[in-house]
A and B are shown apart, each in its own frame.
Chain A
Amino acid sequence: MDKRTLAVFFVRYGMFIALALWMIGMSLSSEHFLTMTNLLNVSRQAAPIIIIGVGMTFVMATAGIDLSVGSTVALVSVLTASWLVLGVPAVVVIPLIVIAGAAIGALNGFVITLGVPAFVVTLATLTSVRGVAFVYSNGYAVPIADPVFVWIGRGDVLGINTPFLIAVIVAALGWFLLNRTRFGLHALATGGREEAARVMGLSINRIKVMVYALTGALAGLAGVVISARLSNGSPNAGVMLELEVIAATVLGGTSLFGGRATIMGTVAGALLINFVRNGLNLLGVNPYWVQVVTGIILVIAVLMNTVLNRKVESWARAAPEVKSS
């Protein structure tokens, strides 16, 4: 274990180390932090960000971005509530909602393949879809009392709350899809160098539509979880959620420029953001400072992931002791 290997290790797993250090530090500072209630509570809050973050990781792997996920959450939230009011059973509502989310995502993806930048397309969907949510609901939140939804929002399985359990399953499937299947590899290739992927015969457009559809579907699922937790369908659900999801994904080490993506990183990023917020709350810090601190962490993490990562890795490669990975 020489110095160079150590440096590479620190830069590559910086986010996990930061998360661990924060957890240790907070455990020493607050007696309430390292309690089962608190940990489960934070994991429940992080769940929607993890769920959508898995999709965002794929989108960013293709060098794209999706700003519309928060608005998708709002639309599926009001749809869910109104369908339940009409008496549609929950087991029918949930798949329909996921399909609706996928349809919004596929529409994003389709317009992007026409050559409009992803940022612009999904910014347009961000305003339009939330607008549709307000029009549809007339601005009112509708209560949800369906027992299946109560279980999804507040129930647990063997002590683990349902939202976090769903998030863990989504993350595990996402990890598999990204690292073990052709689809994940092709998404990375598309973002790494699109022209190379194209001349090797990959269907770039199909891949793009699919990653946005996947993210839309997961935003739909997260919308179900959020509505269930809040016990209502509201057009105000998921405001600014897209920024938290993007922050978690970038914090985790997924490159905004495509080609490099990590599901485990996204999970760690989502947990870090929520544990930082939770820790500062427990310490009695003015909640407005939480936003400031989150921003600072984000900048440091991006610096680590881009500039420092490149420098340290090429420095380590130049070393004769480290020949291969």
Chain B
Amino acid sequence: MTGNYVEMRGITKTFGAVTALSDVALNLPYGGVLGLIGDNAAGKSTLMKILAGSISHDHGEITINGEQAAFTNPIGAREAGIEMIYQDFALVPELTVAQNIFLGREITRSRAGIRVLDRDTMNSRAEEMIGALGLRVPAVTLPVQALSGGQQQAVAIARATGFEAKLVIMDEPTANLGAPAIEKVRETITRLKSSGVAVIIISHRLEDIFAVGDRFMVMKQGRVVGERDVRDTDNADLVEMIVTGQDPRKVKARPDQEKVPTSAT
């Protein structure tokens, strides 16, 4: 074991004729916070959905906690401690806050041999989970569609962090949020990190990752462009990598490549 919680190697995924990911590698230490950045169609979300088990990859290896993993569905990933907060939160509007938090892993009790939903326990647990994050919703028995966008995100965060997750993947966690809500999300990430939970943030907002992250990984058109430590880079450096799809440091290290620049359509 190398001390990495997640290791992905040679991940390849095609959708019909479109190659979404080719030979992608990703390493994430325990409690590390990785910012996954890149233009649209860079393959960030696809890579994360593979890790979260909601789509499957064609080739490549995934090691979680030192063990080979191949998730055929999100349940497997969630049981391994990998949770994802989707950009649209993946909440069912008509179900209550508590029903959404426990969707797929409901607490039941046996009544005359029949498994019955234990709604009281789930409601009080849901309240605890949201409260523990310092977040707030009007009531856990309200349908999610009655909540504001920020409150819905609180539900999604509580669901992802409340079940002893080892890795939380956040897809654009601060998009469409106001400044106070963004601060809350950053606090949540910091708290997760300090309790040993690894976090991967997909974001267009580099400042969020500078604020709470450890490392950047830049992708373009299904390939990894390069990686940077947050203390060893700046906006201009990252934007160049995002736009050109090339790592200037790698180019310098191998001057022969300067004469044949790969196209960066």
Q: How far is the CB of B144 from chain A (nearest CB, A)?
A: 9
Interface flags, A163-202, vs B, CB<8A=1, else 0:
0000000000000000011100100110011011111111
Q: Judging by beta carbons under 8 Å apart, are A199 and B84 in contact?
A: yes
Q: Judging by beta carbons under 8 Å apart, are B115 and A181 in contact?
A: yes
* Least CB separation from A203: chain B residue: B73
Interface residues of A in 200-257 (CB under 8 A from B): 200-202, 255
With a cutoff of 8 Å between Cβ atoms, the chain A residues found around residue B117 in the complex are: 180-182, 185
A-B contact count (CB 8 A): 78
* Least CB separation from B55: chain A residue: A199
Q: Judging by beta carbons under 8 Å apart, are A189 and B138 in contact?
A: no
Segment at the interface with A among B31-39, B88-96, B186-194: B88-96
With a cutoff of 8 Å between Cβ atoms, the chain B residues found around residue A192 in the complex are: 92-95
With a cutoff of 8 Å between Cβ atoms, the chain A residues found around residue B73 in the complex are: 201
| A286 CB–B CB distance under 8 Å | no
Q: Judging by beta carbons under 8 Å apart, are A188 and B84 in contact?
A: no
Chain A facing B: main interface SS? helix
Interface flags, B186-216, vs A, CB<8A=1, else 0:
0000000000000000000000000000000
Segment at the interface with B among A42-50, A143-151, A263-271, A317-325: A317-325
Q: Which of B52, B84, B92, B141 sits near A193, CB closer than 8 Å?
A: B92
* Least CB separation from A323: chain B residue: B138
- A187 and B74 alpha carbons, distance in the complex (Å): 18
Q: Judging by beta carbons under 8 Å apart, are A199 and B74 in contact?
A: yes
Instruction: Given A180-B117, A325-B139, decide whether A200 and B90 contact each other with a Cβ distance below 8 A.
Output: yes
In this complex, how many residues of chain B approach chain A with their Cβ under 8 Å: the count is: 31
- A19 and B32 alpha carbons, distance in the complex (Å): 61
Segment at the interface with A among B100-108, B126-134, B240-248: B100-108
Q: Judging by beta carbons under 8 Å apart, are A189 and B139 in contact?
A: no
* Least CB separation from B89: chain A residue: A196
| A259 CB–B CB distance under 8 Å | yes
- A255 and B143 alpha carbons, distance in the complex (Å): 15
Interface flags, B136-164, vs A, CB<8A=1, else 0:
00110110001000000000000000000
Q: List 18 A-B contacts (CB under 8 A).
A: A185-B103, A188-B92, A188-B94, A189-B99, A196-B89, A197-B103, A199-B74, A200-B74, A200-B103, A201-B75, A201-B78, A202-B103, A202-B104, A259-B94, A260-B94, A317-B146, A323-B138, A325-B139
Beyond A199-B90, A317-B146, list 17 extra A-B contacts (CB 8 Å): A180-B116, A182-B106, A185-B99, A189-B95, A192-B94, A193-B90, A193-B92, A196-B86, A198-B74, A199-B54, A199-B74, A313-B146, A323-B138, A323-B139, A324-B139, A324-B141, A325-B139
Q: Which residues of B contact A (CB under 8 A)?
A: 52-54, 73-75, 78, 84, 86, 88-95, 99, 103-104, 106, 108, 114-117, 138-139, 141-142, 146
